[in-house]
Amino acid sequence: MLSAAVLQVSHLKDLVTLVDPTSRYTFLNFLARTGRLHRFASLHTPLIARREYESYLRWVSDQLDEVQFGCAVEEVTFDGQAFRVESTRGTYAAQHLSIGVGPRPYVPELATGTLGEDVFHSSDFGYHTDSLAGRDVVVVGGGQSGAEVVEHLLQRSGRDAVGSLTWASRRIGFQPLDESPFTNEWFHPDYVRYFHGLSQSRRSQLLDAQQLASDGISKGLLESIYRRLYYNDFVDSDRIRTTLLPGRELTGLCRGPGGKGWRTTLTHIDTGEIDSVGADIVVLATGYHFPLPEFLHTLEGRIARTNCGLPQLAADYSVSWAGPAGNKMFFLNAGKLSHGIADPNLSLASWRAATVLNTITETPLYPDLRSSTCSWDVADRAATHPPVDSGVDLLTESSRQ
């Protein structure tokens, strides 16, 4: 994790606040309990350093005896009545499974055989920062991860500076994250429900149209990179050679002449022209994908899959499978194609967990109240809301129902 990296979401979108703001596990309570609440309030910034958010997650997990780290799940089977989870620390029986292992780094097929000390995914960048001085670096990928790597490389100076930096992206430019209020309505539970009810073809179209709402680059980061490029080109005495190549796709990667370094082939998506760029280091900021976890191999044939090979998820994140209805499997962070752009995002992490818990307990422990500004479908338009000054506690009243 790079020290300058910040979250792209509000601190209110932590583990619990949006479903239970009175919980002792909120980010604000973390700030209070660690003696930094007043100083945080004086920062006048909505952005949290990712390292501080990691500290918050550790603070919460330290209070939960049930959480185990360093415990690998090796296999999950079903004995007819319960799931049996085989791990490096023993076997557990469970009526239900909630699987939140997350996506894995995606590496283009043409680069899979080249991975090593000099070619690696951006998720491993932190392990290689000591070996970059004086070397020619190519960063492939124009999203937030690629931008964070580029900013770090531009910050290095003196003996730590890289020899040269090339930044290539398939996108038509290095584009900002869309954080406007109405775009953020796509990160509401109401929209997730609406999106899930659409046809698969329509969902795919919407995901393409909404890409920059989740995969764009933070405005502040873009401004920082542009400012550093300006100073590098016109102000600094120790300059590095920088090249920005938007609209290019990585179509080839092989060893350089004499087996030294690497030769990247970057094809212009508009003209078909070829850029051949030499590099000592290639950083693949090429995103993530979700393969079915290997520990589910014995159940793989019983899990319904979409045309894309992903688990076929219901609205409550349970998967259709050939097993008893009283035993459910839930997949979290595996439903972007079924639940929309908010699925891999922290924005609705607490709501997703609450949705699963409500299903398991068959009780609305965490009421799911409609709160979107937009009416996404007829049902939304017909829904009524108590006036804000009615004195009704919506959470309490919904729980009673």
Could you read off the pLDDT of 68-125 as tens digits, one per residue? 999 999 999 999 999 999 999 999 999 999 999 989 999 999 999 999 999 999 999 9
The pLDDT of residue 396 = 54
In a domain, 204, yes or no: no
In a domain, 139, yes or no: yes
Kindly report the number of other CB atoms within 10 A of residue 296's CB atom. 20
Spatial CB neighbours of 355, under 8 Å, sequence gap ≥ 6: 316, 317, 368
CATH value at residue 156 = 3.50.50.60
In a domain, 78, yes or no: no
Reported as a single tens digit per residue, the pLDDT across 336-392 is 999 999 999 999 999 999 999 999 999 999 988 788 899 998 776 655 455 555 555
In a domain, 380, yes or no: no
Q: How far is CA 57 from CA 61, 63, 64, 178, in A?
A: 6, 10, 11, 26
Reported as a single tens digit per residue, the pLDDT across 16-45 is 999 999 999 999 999 999 999 999 999 987
In a domain, 51, yes or no: no
Tell me: pLDDT of 242 over 60: yes
- CB 8, CB 187: distance < 8 Å: no
Q: Supply 15's token pair.
A: 């583990």
Q: Which residues pair with 104 in a beta bridge?
A: 289
Q: Please tell me the total count of domains within the chain.
A: 1
Average pLDDT over residues 141-149: 97
In a domain, 84, yes or no: no
Spatial CB neighbours of 27, under 8 Å, sequence gap ≥ 6: 11, 12, 14, 15, 17, 48, 53, 56
Percentage of the chain beyond pLDDT 70 is: 94
Q: Which of 325, 324, 139 is nearest to 243 (CA)?
A: 139
This prediction has a pTM of: 0.88
In a domain, 259, yes or no: yes
The pLDDT of residue 78 = 98
Bigger pLDDT: 62 vs 308? 62
Q: How many Cα atoms occupy the beta-carbon half-sphere of 342 within 13 Å?
A: 23
The pLDDT of residue 105 = 97
Domain residues for 156? 108-177+216-287
Percentage of the chain beyond pLDDT 90 is: 85
In a domain, 161, yes or no: yes
Tell me: pLDDT of 401 over 50: no
Spatial CB neighbours of 398, under 8 Å, sequence gap ≥ 6: 364, 367, 369
Laid out side by side, the sheet with 73-78 consists of 73-78, 83-87, 90-94
Q: What is the mean pLDDT of the chain?
A: 93
